[in-house]
Structure 1
Amino acid sequence: MVVVSMLVLLFRGETVMLPRFWWQAGMIGYSFSLLVLLFFRPNGQDYSYNFIPFSTILSYLSNETNWLVSFYNLSANVGLFIPFGLYLMPGEGKELSSFRKFLYPFFSILSIEICQYVFRRGSLDVDDLILNMIGVYLGYILYPLFTKVVAFHSGKMKRII
């Protein structure tokens, strides 16, 4: 829904003014929702670990599993982390260094992966880390398009009657 709305606004050349506070509140809500999705899973799942890069990704791409399951897992691991790439881009002149643009999401995602395994709420998989980081970097790449559609301001919105 959001993606379609953004595409429509982009093609129409329109921009939405959004208070920075609402963007930050939305990202907090989104992060909380993602943590619920990642940690509140049904009991009785297999808990495993994979330290071999690209083994899970290649098994999905080699048709070893149902194509819909493969597509869902790959796209969700990438797509769910695009907003974080958008969020980490500069806001009002606070540009992060390339090193920090890598470190912040890397250690955050690594922490999530380790916690999923330790608390038996998922599997520790290096491929999830790789796919999530691809999502963050897609957010970085899409940021210029995003700023054509959304403009932030720090003040309160004026009421139009």
Structure 2
Amino acid sequence: MLKKVYKIAIIPYTLFLLYLMFLGMGRYQYEDNLITVKPIFSTIKFIQTADGWKDIVIIVLGNIIMFIPFGFLGWIFPRFKDLKTLCIAFISAIVIVEALQYFTRMGIFEVDDILLNTFGVYLGWQIRIFVEKKLSC
């Protein structure tokens, strides 16, 4: 049952996530193409300069939590049950999305986003393994 719900929900969820990444949360088109390539430093700087914990939770934890469902892709595509294959495919896809944000100027190409999103996928993969063991899916 859980796998069936996932198979139905992941497509609209992905579309919703793409909406958020390009149009949602008050996004606007930047004047210039922006890129942040120093891993971790931009996130640390963001945390230090954030107005409050709410912004930190929404941006930093959001970049992790929102991608947890992609760790379950092995339920639809058996080859993604393997963590290495899943991560290679996901990193390829998220780099394309980040590049599209850069080229459309509807976001910033940020290496930290790639790292945080991939960590979310990894957590989802771990949760999937746990769920499968507990529920014998």
TM-score by length of 1: 0.70
Where do 1:104-123 residues align within 5 Å? Answer: 104-123=89-108
Number of residue pairs matched by the alignment: 131
Gaps of 5+ in 2: none
Match of 1:7 in 2: none
Partner of 2:127 in structure 1?
142
Alpha-carbon offset, residue 45 of structure 1: 4.9
Classify the secondary structure of the residue corresponding to 1:43. coil
**Aligned sequence identity (%):** 25
- One-letter amino acid matched to 1:121: M
Q: Does the residue aligned with 2:130 lie in a helix, a strand or coil?
A: helix
2:41 to 46, 51, 55: 55
Which residue does the alignment assign to 1:23?
Answer: 6
TM-score under structure 2 normalisation?
0.81
Q: Deviations over 1:67-89 (max 9, x none)?
A: 321221111100000000122x3
Preserved CA contact (<8 Å) 1:82 1:135: yes
Over the aligned positions, Cα root-mean-square deviation in angstroms equals 2.4
Consecutive aligned runs of 4 or more in structure 1 exceeding 6 Å deviation? none
What does 1:91-106 align with in structure 2 at a 5 Å threshold? Answer: 94-96=78-80, 97-106=82-91
In the superposition, relative to structure 1, how do residues 29 and 115 fare at CA in structure 2: closer, same or farther (>3 Å)?
same
- Give the conservation status (yes or no) of the 8 Å contact 1:18–1:150: no
Could you say which structure has the larger radius of gyration?
A: 1
The one of the two structures with greater contact order (alpha-carbon pairs below 8 A, sep at least 6) is: 1
User: Does the 8 Å CA contact 2:7/2:76 hold for their aligned counterparts?
Assistant: no
Q: CA deviation at 1:33?
A: 0.6
Structure 1: state its 5+ residue gaps. 1-16, 152-161
Q: Distance in 2 between matches of 1:81 and 1:19?
A: 17
What is the CA-CA distance between 1:98 and the residue it aligns to? 3.9
